[in-house]
Amino acid sequence: MIASSYWIHNWIIPFIVLFFFVFSALSFVVGAGLIVNSSRMFKLFEVMNRWTSLRRQSRWAAIPHDIHPTVHEYRRWIGVVFIVVGIVGLVSGHDLARLIAGLKVDVSRLVVSIAFQTLAWFVVVGNAFAIILGIMLIASPATYNAIRLRLDRWVSTRQMTVGGDVMRLSLDKWIATSPKTAGWIISIVSLFVAADFGTILYSAL
């Protein structure tokens, strides 16, 4: 707990404060630029604004790939690997007490204790399932195929997130039509934020 508190108070919190101070200072500059010379700021926005579609970049991950013919062809070797990995994991691969001691976690807290107990059972069940799966691949491929056909369902995240990467430019259009008003709002809000976090940084010196 001492080590985690040291990292929180000496690294994480100062980084968050510095991040908000720098971000608010930059926002103030942007707001002031919209007030003084909005045309130049719009040219800067055109240079910096680039829309990147994650949907296009991640298309390869949403295409189903059937590996079952390969698994069936080398099912014995894959089954042996699953069994060996499962046994090693159950016997000597995960020492939870040593892990908790190394992380210096206070297990007396209820939430932390439940989390680590859940992790321990997850490891045990996962390794046991690997052993069972390996045995089925070697001894009973028909049972494996029957279970696979019942459980194997392809869920396309692309269909679930249709329209998620559509650009919504309502705010941009409002700033374009009222640059000075937007500039004053951005400048005033960011100035208060910068002053607040700047005071925290100054008091920490």
Total number of domains constituting the chain:
2
**Same domain as 71, residue 37:** no
In a domain, 84, yes or no: yes
Q: Greater confidence, 16 or 169?
A: 16
**Least confident interval from 12-26, 94-108, 165-179:** 94-108
In a domain, 159, yes or no: no
In a domain, 59, yes or no: no
Structure confidence by residue, pLDDT tens digits, 130-152 = 899 889 889 888 888 888 877 77
Contact 53, 165 (CB under 8 A): yes
**Same domain as 86, residue 19:** no
Q: At 161, phi and psi to the nearest 5?
A: -110, 25
Domain that holds residue 183: 1-41+179-205
**Same domain as 141, residue 86:** yes
In a domain, 196, yes or no: yes
User: How far apart (Å, rounded) are the C-alpha atoms in residues 173 and 46?
Assistant: 13
In a domain, 141, yes or no: yes
In a domain, 81, yes or no: yes
User: Residues 171-195: what's their mean pLDDT?
Assistant: 89
**Same domain as 82, residue 36:** no
Contact 35, 175 (CB under 8 A): no
This prediction's pTM: 0.50
C-alpha count within 13 angstroms, C-beta hemisphere, residue 104: 7
**Same domain as 187, residue 149:** no
In a domain, 83, yes or no: yes
Terminal Cα distance for the chain, rounded: 25
In a domain, 46, yes or no: no
**Same domain as 114, residue 78:** yes
Work out the angle at residue 30's Cα, subtended by the Cα atoms of residues 188 and 44, and round it to the nearest 5 degrees. Answer: 160
